[in-house]
Amino acid sequence: METLPLEPFKMVIDGINESGGEAFKFCYQCGKCETVCPWNNVRYFPVRKYINQAKYGVVPFESEDVWLCATCGRCPQYCPRGVEIIEVMRSVRRLLVPDGVVPASLPSLRSTMTNIASVGNPWGQDPNERMNWAKDLEVKEFDETTEILYFPCCYPSYDPRLKKVSQATANILNKAGVNFGVLGSKEMCCGESVRKTGNEALFKRLAKENIKTWIDSGVKKILVSSPHCFHTFKNEYPEFSVNFEVIHISQFLFELINEGRLTIKKEYARKVTYHDPCYLGRHNGVYDEPRGVLQKIPGLELIEITDNHKDSLCCGMGGGRVWMETEKNERFANIRIEQAIATGAQVLATACPYCVFALEDSKLVTNHADDIEIKDITEILQEVI
Ligand code: SF4
Ligand code: SF4
């Protein structure tokens, strides 16, 4: 394993300090982070070793392990010394992508970042097709008369499976009479995975472009499907001295039902278990609203899965992992599928495009294609209103 001497040592330590991760100095190598990290369910991942190396300014340039962290947030909540482990991982990654160039050993991440940089989405799709998901629906472009901006972001705009989530969202909003609009080709990737994979310059560019578009369009309130957009807009975009109201769809649906703006007319006679997405639950404390929506549906029996709320098992897609290859037998979502089936549920519900993507894939990998359905909560609600 190659490490760089002297000057880079200082660079690493300074970089981590600048990223707000200076508490890494207090790590006393207890190893608690490793015992709670989901990677250690599927392979060895010595989290504390990397924290210790960072402490001495050492970057394992040749190791791919530093790209493994899914930034799930589980280890920081158990660390007795308050070490900001995610910030340490992110800072080290920043040093590994100088000038935004991802190492050639990560070809899928490299092409994803190139595509986002050139056309604003991870697949290099035509930005003019970004709104195609809405072509048969009543969805208008945001203008000065619009109350709420719906920001589906990349997966629900382009991916055939996840378009069903943006379409369900639009159908529900229309049923509830919400005055909403979208930005279509003017919308850019939120940049969440860009920042988590160390490309700070590109993140800042995306954030500034999105913010400028919102200001120019008169946006005040933003509704999102993805907990990753939610986290980024709510907690990171304020770094640019802006303060938009940001709401996740699970919170908004709960509000609409409670205010009587959305009437549930049908039963959903199924057993359902709910998977807490890391960036909705652990990172932002939204646990009750998605469950609240499901509990309002007559006939639906909600069963808790093991590893729930703050101990939810990460699907494995955060921290930019969604754009990197993961060995089939090392996917956390495989374990999640088994846990869901063990509850006796017929449906595994969640509230995150990345989770839906990972769980759908793992259902096939684990040969459970016919044993359980994966649904975003919007897809369930759409069926009963
Ligand atoms: S849990 Fe915290 S103190 Fe313990 S080894 Fe991990 S980072 Fe260090
Ligand atoms: S944030 Fe999650 S994936 Fe990353 S090291 Fe901690 S427990 Fe492991």
| 68-117 per-position pLDDT tens digit | 999 999 999 999 999 989 988 888 888 888 788 888 889 999 999 999 99
Q: What percent of the chain has pLDDT over 70?
A: 96
Q: Is the pLDDT of residue 3 over 70?
A: no
Q: From ligand 1's centre to the CA of 86, what distance in Å? A: 12
Closest ligand (CA of 36): 2
Q: State the average pLDDT over residues 330-359.
A: 98
Q: CA-CA distance, 106 to 90, in Å (whole number)?
A: 16
- Residue 248 bridge partners (DSSP): 224
pLDDT at 61: 65
Is residue 37 lining ligand 2, measured as CB closer than 6 Å? Answer: yes
Angle 320-229-316 (CA atoms, 0-180°, nearest 5)? 35
Give the atom of ligand 2 at the shortest distance from the alpha carbon of 70: 3
Is residue 79 lining ligand 2, measured as CB closer than 6 Å? Answer: no
- State how far the alpha carbon of 337 is from the alpha carbons of 17, 29, 106, 318, 353, in Å: 39, 33, 27, 18, 16
Q: State the average pLDDT over residues 56-69.
A: 80
Six token digits for residue 230: 């939610």
Q: From ligand 1's centre to the CA of 196, what distance in Å? A: 20
Domain ranges of the chain: 7-96, 107-255, 263-384
Contact at 8 Å (CB) between 282 and 276?
A: yes
pTM for the full predicted model:
0.95
- CB environment 341-368: b (16+ within 10 A), e (fewer): bebebbbbbbbbbbbbbbbbbbbeebee
pLDDT at 1: 43
CATH topology of domain 263-384: Rossmann fold (3.40.50)
pLDDT tens, residue by residue, 229-285: 999 999 999 999 999 999 999 999 999 999 999 999 999 999 999 999 999 999 999
Q: State the average pLDDT over residues 38-51.
A: 94
Is residue 318 lining ligand 2, measured as CB closer than 6 Å? Answer: no
Q: What is the CATH number of domain 7-96?
A: 1.10.1060.10
- Residue 273 bridge partners (DSSP): 303, 348
Dihedral of CA 12/18/22/24: which sign? negative
Give the atom of ligand 1 at the shortest distance from the alpha carbon of 81: 3
Dihedral of CA 107/108/111/112: which sign? negative
pLDDT at 69: 96
pLDDT at 344: 98
Test site for ligand 1: of 35, 51, 53, 88, most ligand atoms within 8 A of the Cβ: 51
Q: How many CA atoms lie within 13 A of 291 on its CB side?
A: 17
Which residues have CB under 6 Å of ligand 1? 27-33, 47-48, 51, 79-81, 83, 85
Q: Is the pLDDT of residue 16 over 80?
A: no
Six token digits for residue 143: 């203008």
The mean of the pLDDT values for the chain is 94
CATH topology of domain 107-255: Rossmann fold (3.40.50)
Q: CA-CA distance, 138 to 167, in Å (whole number)?
A: 10
Test site for ligand 2: of 85, 307, 310, 332, most ligand atoms within 8 A of the Cβ: 85
- Residue type (1 letter), 162: L
Residues 6+ apart with CB under 8 A from 136: none
Test site for ligand 2: of 30, 33, 231, most ligand atoms within 8 A of the Cβ: 33
Higher-pLDDT residue of 90, 322: 322
Low-confidence winner among 20-29, 56-65, 90-99, 338-347 (lowest mean pLDDT): 56-65
Residue with tokens 């991802």: 102
Q: CA-CA distance, 375 to 383, in Å (whole number)?
A: 11
Q: CA-CA distance, 280 to 290, in Å (whole number)?
A: 10
Q: CA-CA distance, 290 to 334, in Å (whole number)?
A: 23
Closest ligand (CA of 45): 2
Is residue 196 lining ligand 2, measured as CB closer than 6 Å? Answer: no
Higher-pLDDT residue of 45, 63: 45
- CB environment 89-120: b (16+ within 10 A), e (fewer): bbbbbbbbbeebebeeebeebbebbbbbbebb
Test site for ligand 1: of 83, 84, 88, 92, most ligand atoms within 8 A of the Cβ: 83
Closest ligand (CA of 75): 2
pLDDT at 117: 97
Contact at 8 Å (CB) between 281 and 312?
A: yes
> Using CB atoms within 10 A of its CB, is residue 221 exposed (0-12), middle (13-18) or buried (19+)?
middle
Q: From ligand 1's centre to the CA of 43, what distance in Å? A: 19
Q: What percent of the chain has pLDDT over 90?
A: 84
Same fold, 107-255 and 263-384: yes
Closest ligand (CA of 87): 2
Q: CA-CA distance, 324 to 109, in Å (whole number)?
A: 6
- State how far the alpha carbon of 10 is from the alpha carbons of 13, 52, 284, in Å: 5, 14, 33
Helix or strand holding residue 88 (H, E): helix 85-96
In 10-162, beta strands by DSSP E: 140-141, 148-151
Strand order in the sheet with 301-303: 301-303, 271-274, 347-350, 373-376
Q: Is the pLDDT of residue 12 over 80?
A: no
